[in-house]
Structure 1
Amino acid sequence: MTEQVTRATFDEVMAPNYAPAAMIPVRGEGSRVWDQEGKEYIDFAGGIAVTALGHSHPTLVETMREQAGKLWHLSNVMTNEPALRLAKKLTEKTFADRVFFANSGGEANEAAFKLARRYAFDHFGPEKNEIISFYQSFHGRTLFTVSVGGQPKYTEGFAPVPGGITHCEYNDIDALKALISDKTCAVVMEPIQGEGGIIPAAPEFAKQVRALCDEHKALLVFDEVQSGVGRTGTLYAYEQTGVTPDILTTAKSLGNGFPVAAMLATEEVAKSLAVGTHGSTYGGNPLAAAIAEAVIDIVDTPEVLEGVNKRHQLFVDELTAINDKYHVFKDIRGMGLLMGAEVTDELAGHAKDFLAHAADEGLFVLVAGPNVVRFAPSLIIPEADIKEGFERFERAVAKTVADLKK
């Protein structure tokens, strides 16, 4: 007999690092989710840009069942067919020549940052070890990745943190010029900052970052954990910048919710990840790799990628119409189906209020910091769900405005 659990069970048995909603989802199909009470929600959050193909996608369910009946796990003293097929497809579809598999975006970034330092060590010596990243960036929750991330609140209380890391303003090339030197081993950036407020890199800025890295013999690392796998309308967002990184990390949508991640690199750089320098017990296991391969096969098609751009415009149009009526946002921005609506100065700090009222109305949305409402739905969300979802969101906006006038 299955034991009955409720939201109160969380407070009894779970570590208090999360503050989950009162409802507990139990079932999902496409872009709809149902909770324990049978209430239906439309999903504009996508598990934080993860469920790129929605919930319970039939092809992914069948792929998982088929692979589960063959092999789940092997040690990394041997390889497996799904991992090799997935790695081959990722290298064929991107700039990369080599792949390292992990289980999460944080792990992929940990590998990327270690590789950047190891490459510099191998080619230039131990003094070339400094990493530059950008304020408001987010790269994971390990001590290394949270230190590279540009949000001090995530390192508070965990000192001493790894050294040799500096930060500068995003989209400010002069700030980077002032920091970068021949001691820099890597510049780490998101082509569109996610947790930092859904801020795309200006194309000219990205090109100048690449040029500075080349000038100082530093590697360019693109964190595409959130922006990758079709999220921005191309398989990876770097394709839209005119810039090719040396290392790229990908996770989230890669497994549609199944834990899988990858670090992609050029052959020259990947050579420094020699035998014994890094590893992962579960990374590249056949079950995860089979699911990720199926995701790539579905997403990297004209139908899906062109559909992302069409849906982007639908989101812009709906958000603009709501804003014309309620005047709550000062900016609507983003790429593809990674979008943010920044609240007006009068509503500063109240983005979470929109999230709470949206949930009451049967809609999942996200925030990106205290001032931005974030949207990261399935890449194949039906247009009817978009329309109905925004009807619910408008009611949430109306409630938020009414509450703040009290």
Structure 2
Amino acid sequence: MSDTLQSVSGGALADASNAAWTDRYTHAVMDTFGPPQRVLVRGEGAYVWDADGRRYLDLLAGIAVNALGHAHPTLTAAISAQLGTLCHVSNFFATPTQIGLAERLLHLAGAPEGSRVFFTNSGTEAVEAAFKMARRNRGEDGSRTRVLALEGGFHGRSMGALALTAKAAYREPFEPLPGGVEHVPFGDTAALEEAFSPAAVAERGGVAAFVLEPLQGEAGVRPLPPGYLAHARRLTADAGALLVLDEVQTGVGRTGSWFAFQQPEIGGGVLPDVVTVAKGLGGGFPVGATIAFGERAATLLGRGQHGTTFGGNPVAAAAGLATLGVIERDALLENVRHVGAVLSSEIEAAGNPLVAGVRGRGLLLAVQLTRPVAADVAAAALEAGFVVNAVAPDAIRLAPPLILTADQARDVARFFAAVTVPDTTVPAERES
């Protein structure tokens, strides 16, 4: 480690343990996430190491962020090279990397002529831009006043994105939130049709946008029912509403295609009006984007109506271009499909009575448990050298780097085959 880094960190990493770093964390970092499970000091490929020198197979990838794993040589070289030429400029100017990344995203998304990209620093900011686009889609008479979102959806924690997020525990401490948002039941086509019905429009106003995830990540990796997205496309098109797909977690190859809506089983050939993307786009470097499909959507936000200081800066754009380039060069979409199938099939085939099944697509999966012991399973996994996420009381989320190998997937399956958690359920008293 350089003297500079030692000075910044207050001592060499080798001189501090997990316990020592955690103690310092509790006195320096705001308590919004709780105590860290471990303090990680380096990574390579699909593995990370903690301050005590223990190695872990990273099956969370920073919550679907580190698409290429850790310290990928192509990504680090691209970021370093860009830092050595131009780090940041204001949005009064453009850079080749910014323009190149926008063009690349439009091509990969299959966006039609007239489409445009707005760059952000995160998924939350990408959703925030989409929300403002919805506000601008009120119609000539201003009658489209409602924005629909799905129950169980998670779209971020800024005030606009939080208004779209359904979970009461996230919303209630910060109410009142921006109004006009209605949450409809997950996967219920009849309820969706009611929200667009003439009676609903007459009573509550027209619909400006419908915002949803193709697979709900934070709700436990829940795929939409077959045909639901196509049905939503028909309803939004007829109403003049925007169909906004939140692909912050599902985009950039996570499900085995560049975007989840491109898979026939999910999208059914639909073309959305807006797609938000972030997380894996920069391979770990903060970058997000709001992709507007077609001239109508692309012109909803005019000059001076939205902005960002760091969005699309040359280093972030270089990271995005490098990430997309490696995914294509190394055929990682095919790897995601193959390794995801190995991971899900071998976990299910292991026959552990604690495991009810695996759902999801590609390398965004949830291991469904037969009991609400996900936190215990996640703790056991960490002790065994696997980083996973207890996304629900009875579900474990797996979102590893796209470079995960089949052999590493089999290591994961062996863990799920063997893991046990004591049943602490108290038997109900018999009636006398």
Q: 2:36 aligns with which of 14, 21, 34?
A: 21
- Deviation string for 1:237-286 (max 9, x for gaps)? 11011211100000000011110000001222111211000000000000
Separation in 2, partners of 1:404, 1:9:
37
Secondary structure of 1:155's aligned partner: helix
Equivalent residue, structure 1, for 2:191: 175
Structure-1 residue corresponding to 2:276: 249
Structure 1's unaligned 5+ residue stretches are: none
Contact 1:362 1:392 in 2 (8 A): no
Corresponding position of 1:59: 74
2:223 corresponds to which residue?
200
CA contact (8 A) 2:47 2:58 kept: yes
1:67 Cα offset (Å): 0.5
Match of 2:255 in 1: 232
Alignment partner of 2:176 out of 160, 166, 177: 160
SS, match of residue 412 in structure 2: helix
In 2, distance between residues paired with 1:151 and 1:170?
A: 13
SS in 1 for 2:227: helix
Q: Which runs of 5+ in 2 are unaligned?
A: 1-5, 12-19, 428-432
Distance 1:203 1:124, change over 3 A: farther
Deviations along 1:168-210, one digit per CA (max 9) or x if unpaired, are 1121110111112461000011011100111111231111110
- Amino acid of the residue matched to residue 351 of structure 1? A
Question: Residues 304 and 405 (structure 1 numbering): CA distance in 2 closer, same or farther, change over 3 Å?
Answer: farther
- Identify which of 255, 273, 284 aligns with 2:312: 284
Structure 1 residues 20 and 300: alpha-carbon distance in aligned structure 2, compared to 1, 3 A threshold = farther
- State the secondary structure of the residue aligned to 2:85: coil
For the residue of structure 2 that corresponds to 1:292, the secondary structure is helix
Q: Which amino acid aligns with 1:73?
A: H
Q: Distance in 1 between matches of 2:64 and 2:254?
A: 8
**Structure with bigger gyration radius:** 2
RMSD: 1.8
With normalisation by structure 2, the TM-score equals: 0.88
Task: Name which of 391, 398, 415 aligns with 1:375.
Answer: 398
Partner of 2:130: 112
2:296 match: 268
| Residue 328 of structure 2 corresponds to residue 300 of structure 1 | yes
Cα-to-partner distance string for 1:14-52 (whole Å, 9 max, x where unaligned): 111112434211000001111111001011111111111
Partner Cα distance (2:121, 2:304) in 1:
18
Q: Percent identity?
A: 38
The residue number in structure 1 matching 2:355 is 329
Task: Show CA shifts across 1:34-74 (max 9, x none).
Answer: 11110010111111111111011110011011001011111
Determine if contact 2:381/2:388 at 8 Å carries over to the other structure. yes
CA distance in 1: counterparts of 2:41 and 2:424, whole angstroms: 30
CA change 1:404–1:381 in 2 (3 A) is farther
Q: 1: CA distance between counterparts of 2:170 and 2:413? A: 33
Matched residue type, 1:161: L
Letter of the 1:31 partner, please give it.
A
- Offset, 1:125: 3.7
Secondary structure at the aligned position of 2:401 is classed as coil
Change (3 A) 1:22 1:187: closer
